[in-house]
Every structure is written in C-alpha cells, then in structure tokens.
A = this chain, B = another copy of it.
C-alpha cells in the first residue's frame, strides 16, 4: 500500500472549529509534508505561494488548485510552455469562493497540457512508476499524499474520476454547470466540468457545500441503503479482471449490508451518443485554442498539434448533429433510474497503468461528462500490486446529493 494517506477535510474543520487544533497547525502539517515529499511526487506546477490563515468554515484547510484555474496571486500556465510565468489579473470564481470560506490556496497543481492528454511530471503516490491519471494529475496525487485535504480540478473526458481512482481518493464531478467555470482555461466549453478531490465522499460534500452554499452535505443520520444499478454496456469487456472482481465483491458486500443491487442495461440512445463526445470536444478545442494555434503553433506537443489539426476538419453541421445526439441521450438517460437510485460502474478499465507517458483511458468517463450527470469515485479495492481500484457512483442530473450520499454509504458499509 501507499506510504501516504489523505487527510479528512471534514475532520480537520471540526478539530479547528472545536479548538483542538489551530488553523495554523493544520496548515503547517500540510506544508511540512509537501516540503518532505514533493521532490518525489511533483504535485506542484508553480512555486509554492506564502500560506496565510484565513477566517471561515474552511479555515486551516489548504486546497490544491489545478493549474488551469486563474489565480491573481500565482502564475497560471495551463500546462503549456506558451503560458510560462503567465500572471492572470483575476481569480477564477471558484478560487474566490474557496478563499471567501477561509480556505488557504496550497498552490497550483500539475495539469496535462491544456487539460488534454499530454502528461505532466506528477507521479502516483502508490507507485512512482505509475501514472496518477490526468488531466487533474497534481490535484489527485496531492490529496492522496496528504499534501492538502482537498483540491479542485476539471473533467472534460475523465479528468476528475480517473485520477481519483488511480490515486485512491474520493473524486466528485458535479452536475454540469453546478459550479461556475469563470476564470478557467476552457478546452471544450460544452463538456468542461469543475470537480473536487478529497479523502472521502463526506469530505468532498463538505467542501462543495460550504463554498457554494448548496445543500450537498452528507446526512449522517440517514443510514438507508441505496438501490444500486450495476451498469452494463458494450465496453465492459475492456475492464481488467481485477476491476471485474472488485465490482462483484463490492456489490456482494453492499447486498449483505442491505442494499438492493440490480443490473441496468445501457439504453440504445445512450450507447449511440458515445461518439458524440469526441466530435463536440474536438470542434470546440480548435476554437478554444484558436489564438494559440495562430501565434504559438510550435509550442504545442506534437500529439496535441495533430489532434487540433484533425479537429479542424469537423464541420459545424457535424458538430450540431453531435449536440443533437447528446441531447437525445440526455433525455433517454432518465430511464436508467427506473429501477435504481444510482448507477455503479468502473471509474477506469483497471488500476493506474505502469507508465508516465500516458494518463490512462477515459473510456468509462466520457459518456457521463457528456450527459452532465454527477459522478463520485470511491475506492472499491486494490489490485495485486497494491494499486487502488475505483468505481463511480452516478446519480441523475442535478441530484448530486444522492450520488454523494450513496458513495458515503458504500464507503461506510462495504469495506
């Protein structure tokens, strides 16, 4: 297992609030851990800022910010040499929301190039030879390593849920547009979704609820078991045997603890929307990076340059058709919950691959980003190499609390 362990944001906040721990001590603990271990894990994209204690419900909680969110007091490079030492004028909305609740910004965490696939330097805390996943690599690895109790990132394909799974932490991708993306460097504005990393579902729920004033906190008195739908689709053969086994075991433990578990088959319009994600993302990325492609074409990775050149071939008519297909799938996705409260499926094909040249495959994530539905990664087990396996709990659009609550129940009842 890992040398590292995540810190609970909820416990930290309670300790600070009760006076058993000072906010300064909580921050010092994080800072020390970073000073000792970031040389191995390479979580940070920019030099650490000076940390100050702020007042509020998140006082004493340091939060890692994926380096695609603008910060007025720290350079922001979006994972690209084009923006080396770029200093934005204004904070992203979400960063200000967090500061306004007393959170201390730990620093800017490594992202892949423009939050796409070309990896950054971050390593997986469970095994330095393995990818932490991406694109929110530093945010996921930093929470896993106990560098900070929480972090924010973005998901356009699978960039919250996959790194959370690979690093063995809770990842929460909210419903599309529940949190503002202002001040985020967009890659695909119809897909880019803000998300959170923390130790467990209750910690993510606490951070998200506190900064947004939304009713997302876990209800700790509600012990009722969710009705879980095991999602069956045409790509299930891609799962590793360890992942398959892990889901079977998790389902069995959940049933034993009182949950109803049923199979849910992918409806045809949802399956058919699989290819729409790429068309929408590719078309929008060409526009999102239009200026950079004109003025700094030599500073893209070869892979991204090629990807954007191909994206330019997509016509507006093809893009509009993909958007219609996605809307059709969104409507059809309601029937997924006819017989269950939440869906359960892999967060990734397996555990983190042994490579630093790739961040893994987002095939189990892209559909749910396209549909805009809330997803929460939970640790379902570990493979033979001690690497975490993750599954995602998915609720209907707008019912984020249901996904968080079910993830919390599973974390409590199936270990």
Contacts and interface: CB of A to CB of B under 8 A. Distances in A.
Contacts of A181: 189
Interface stretch (A55-63, A87-95, A142-150, A381-389): A87-95
Interface stretch (A43-51, A115-123, A291-299): A291-299
Contacts of A83: 89
Contacts of A398: 320
A97 interface: yes
11 contacts: A72-B295, A90-B291, A91-B291, A92-B291, A93-B287, A93-B288, A96-B291, A180-B284, A182-B287, A212-B316, A215-B316
Given A181-B189, A213-B315, 12 more contacts: A83-B89, A86-B89, A90-B291, A90-B292, A96-B291, A97-B290, A100-B290, A100-B294, A180-B189, A182-B189, A214-B316, A215-B317
A290 B213 contact: no
Interface in A200-242: 212-215
Number of chain copies forming the complex: 2
Nearest to A295: B72
A277 interface: no
Interface in A281-319: 284, 287-288, 290-292, 294-295, 315-317
Given A316-B213, A316-B214, A291 B180 contact: no
Nearest to A87: B89
Interface string A175-203: 00100111100100110000000000000
Contacts of A287: 93, 97, 180, 182
Contacts of A177: 190
A212 B284 CA distance: 12
A259 to B, nearest CB: 29
Contact of A91 (B92, B96, B100, B290): B290
A288 B182 contact: yes
Contacts of A89: 83, 86
**A99, A180, A190 — most chain B CB neighbours (10 Å):** A180
**A95, A181, A183, A287 — most chain B CB neighbours (10 Å):** A287
Nearest to A290: B96
Contacts of A288: 93, 180, 182
Nearest to A398: B320
Contact of A291 (B72, B86, B294, B295): B72
Nearest to A213: B316
Nearest to A292: B90
A269 to B, nearest CB: 19
Nearest to A296: B90
A215 B91 CA distance: 38
